[in-house]
């Protein structure tokens, strides 16, 4: 375990922890509202650790939807992680099997995006860094879930305190971080168009998978200008 | 613990297993390949922008004027500043619109 790397990870994960905290509290509040105990809510945050799908899960559970459909919906919302785990493979090949287990368990959107960015900058994606980044988000997620579950009613409407814009803006910042990559504009345009249309015609949560597949397929179909693997990521960044 | 509560615990565990499956699935599939074809590599390079965009675009289009305005200003800020400042600026914009303008 490298202390400097771990601390670097903690520092990198800190703003994400801040941005995610209101949503942890919101999840806790909604969970209690839908018939969960405080312990159930924290248990779900600890086991699933995927905010959007947890919200979908408790919403469906509260509406007495059949259990298999709840699990399928959670799977659908989280389907994008299949792409993350395929894409991150290049950067975590040196992890031991146990380290990989924890790495996949902690593989949320910002964890993936920041790992990619770190590799692109030529910095090592060490397990120490990865764990520091993941744990500074994971444990506060459990704590804020508990706080939300206890004080649920105090939060009220998230729109009044403006926290509903934090996640989309945060993800927008992550998207901008990749703007120097090849095919960035066509990929973003395809995903944006497809996800907006899918939201309207198919509905949430399918807009995520449909939009993502549109962008990824387009990238695969566009003419290959140069073999991507020949150019080191650092050089492209420069 | 009554049966109904036990069912909830099982449901949470099933949801956790389904989530973990998505997080390990892509890795398991991709490591079966000895050589990664260039088109697959291009597709994998597109993953971050493609997926994260789907979490942004619908919020911008369907979120209403206040959300769209806040995201637009945050976008402009994001071209120059860090993510933390983007969040702060976007939050200020949406709070001003909601509490002072409308």
pLDDT tens for A17-43 read: 988 888 898 899 889 888 899 999 999
What average pLDDT does this structure show over A212-238? Answer: 70
Structure tokens, A166: 């934090």
Taking an 8 Å cut-off on Cβ atoms, the answer to whether A100 and B27 are in contact is: yes
Domain span at B56: 38-102
pLDDT in tens, A131-167: 999 999 999 999 999 999 998 766 667 778 887 788 7
Q: What is the dihedral of CA A212, A103, B24, A77, to 10 degrees?
A: -40
- CB under 8 Å to B94, separation ≥6 — which residues? A162, A165, B66, B67, B69, B70
- My answer on whether A171 and A214 are in the same domain is no
Residues from chain A contacting residue B31 (CB–CB below 8 Å):
89
- How far from the centroid of its chain's Cα atoms is residue B18's Cα? 18
Model confidence pLDDT, tens digit, residues B69-100: 999 999 999 999 988 889 899 999 999 999 98
What residue in B sits closest to A117 (Cα-Cα)?
Answer: B48
Are A212 and A225 in contact by the 8 Å Cβ rule? The answer is no
CA distance B81 to B85: 6
Within this chain, do residues B93 and B72 fall inside the same structural domain, yes or no?
yes
Mean pLDDT along residues A64-91: 90
Mark whether B45 and B91 lie in a shared domain. yes
**Residues A185 and A171 both lie in one domain:** no
Nearest CA in chain A to B65: A165
With the CA atoms of A5, B27, A87 and A171 taken in that order, what torsion angle do they form, in degrees rounded to the nearest 10? -70
Residues A186 and A106 in one domain: no
B50 and A71: CB-CB below 8 Å? no
Q: Which residues of A touch B1 (CB under 8 A)?
A: none
CA of B3 vs chain A CAs: smallest distance (Å) = 14
* Nearest-CA distance A100 → chain B (Å): 9
Contact across the interface for A75 and B98, Cβ inside 8 Å? no
Q: Do residue B52 and residue B27 come from a single domain?
A: no
Helix axis angle for A67-77 and A51-62, nearest 10°, is 160
How does DSSP assign A85-153, residue by residue? HHHHGGGSTTS-HHHHHHHHHT--HHHHHHHHHHHHTT----HHHHHHHHHHHHHHHHHHHHHHHHHHH
Q: Is residue A108 pLDDT above 90, yes or no? A: yes
Pairwise CB contact (< 8 Å): A109 & B9: no
* Same domain? A164 vs A184: no
Domain that holds residue A168: 3-178
Task: Give residue B54's pLDDT band: very low, low, confident or very high (50, 70, 90).
Answer: very high
**Which of B37, B51, B74 should be substituted to probe chain A, the one whose Cβ sees the most A Cβ atoms within 10 Å?**
B51
Tell me if A165 and B50 make a contact (CB, 8 A cut-off). no
- A104 and B27 in contact by Cβ < 8 A? yes
Contact list, A89 vs chain B (CB under 8 Å): 26-27, 30-31
Residue B98 is classified by DSSP as: I
Q: Across the interface, which of B19, B27, B91 has its CB nearest the CB of A86?
A: B27
Q: What pLDDT score was predicted for residue A5?
A: 95
Say how many domains are in chain A: 2
Q: Are residues B44 and B22 in the same domain?
A: no
Instruction: Check: CB of residue B11 under 8 Å from CB of residue A70.
Output: yes
């Amino acid at each position: 375990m490298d202390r400097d790397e771990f601390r670097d990870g903690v520092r990198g994960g800190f703003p994400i922890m801040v941005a995610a905290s209101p949503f942890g509290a919101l999840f806790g509040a909604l969970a209690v509202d839908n018939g969960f105990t405080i312990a159930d809510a924290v248990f779900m945050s600890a086991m699933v650790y995927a905010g959007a799908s947890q919200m979908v899960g408790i919403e469906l559970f509260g509406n007495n939807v059949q259990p298999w459909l709840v699990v399928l919906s959670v799977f659908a919302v989280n389907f994008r992680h299949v792409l993350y785990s395929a894409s991150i493979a290049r950067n975590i090949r040196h992890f031991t099997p146990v380290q990989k287990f924890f790495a996949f368990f902690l593989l949320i959107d910002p964890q993936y995006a920041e790992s990619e960015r770190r590799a692109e900058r030529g910095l090592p994606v060490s397990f120490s860094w990865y764990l520091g980044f993941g744990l500074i988000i994971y444990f506060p997620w459990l704590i804020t879930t508990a706080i939300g579950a206890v004080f649920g009613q105090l939060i009220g409407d998230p729109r009044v305190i403006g926290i509903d814009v934090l996640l989309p803006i945060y993800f927008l910042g992550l998207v901008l971080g990749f703007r120097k990559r090849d095919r960035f504009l066509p990929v973003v345009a395809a995903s944006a168009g497809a996800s907006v249309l899918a939201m309207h015609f198919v509905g949430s949560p399918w807009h995520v998978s449909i939009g993502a597949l549109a962008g990824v397929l387009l990238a695969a179909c566009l003419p290959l200008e140069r073999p991507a693997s020949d150019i080191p990521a650092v050089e492209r960044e420069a | 613990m009554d049966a109904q509560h036990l069912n909830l615990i099982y449901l949470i565990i099933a949801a956790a297993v389904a989530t973990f499956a998505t997080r390990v699935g892509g890795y398991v599939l991709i490591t079966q390949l000895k050589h990664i074809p260039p088109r697959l590599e291009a597709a994998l390079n597109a993953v971050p922008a493609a997926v994260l965009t789907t979490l942004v675009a619908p919020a911008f289009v369907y979120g209403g004027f206040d959300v769209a305005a806040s995201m637009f200003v945050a976008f402009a800020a994001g071209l120059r500043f860090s993510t933390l400042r983007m969040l702060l600026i976007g939050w200020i914009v949406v709070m001003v619109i909601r509490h002072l303008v409308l």
